[in-house]
Copies of this chain bind each other. A is one copy, B any other.
Amino acid sequence: MVSFKRRGGRRPGATDTRESILAAAREAFTRAGYRPATIRGIAAAAGVDPALVMHFFGNKETLFREAMTLPVEPAAVLSRALATSPDRAGEVIAATFLEIWDSAAHRDSLLGLVRASVTEQAASDMFRATILDGIEHALTEFGVSQPRLRGTLLASQLMGLAMARYILALEPLASAPRPDVAAAVAPTLQRYISGDITRESPRD
């Protein structure tokens, strides 16, 4: 809706400016949370006019979404794992999840996303739309029963792991070697993906 003329031409600094705004936004959302962060404050931190932020991103929600872009597409990781070795999908998801979170380059965006999801409806809606719908789709393609319930159970363990290991930094989980943590949670993820999640079954 915002018509943007300056976009054409050689504009040596347009990308840099956009990146500066995103960096400032990431920092503001991560530190302060979604609601307290303001377009005005982010613009000031990036050294630009608030109108320019609006010009690039239109509104705060879009800015948040762009600043907090996930480094991988969770549904794609799941789909690939289900296509290649479905019985080890839990292991693959656990390993990938931990690898990304353990990487300092991504940690801040992820922390911001989780913090904001817990406190802000807009972020929570975004989480639902961008992550969960894709996971449900991947599970539906795979043909398991109750794909959406499985997706939310999967999300519950992964979000809880992020909270315990990275946000609250509960020891010894916070500094346990990645393969140990992956081994501990993989069977949980595997069961949510393809195992028994009902109460009718007379299992042990």
Contacts and interface: CB of A to CB of B under 8 A. Distances in A.
Interface of A: 33, 36, 114-115, 117-119, 124, 127-128, 132, 146, 148-149, 152-153, 155-161, 163-165, 167-174, 176, 179-180, 182-185, 187-188, 191-192, 197-199
B180 A164 contact: no
Q: Which 9 A-B residue pairs are closest in the complex by CB-CB distance?
A: A160-B160, A183-B199, A152-B173, A156-B164, A156-B160, A184-B197, A152-B170, A159-B160, A188-B188
19 contacts: A33-B119, A115-B118, A117-B163, A118-B118, A118-B168, A127-B168, A148-B171, A149-B176, A152-B164, A152-B170, A152-B171, A153-B173, A153-B184, A156-B163, A157-B160, A159-B160, A160-B161, A184-B192, A184-B199
Contacts of A159: 159-160, 163-164
Contact of A152 (B115, B157, B172): B172
A172 B184 contact: no
Give the copy number: 2
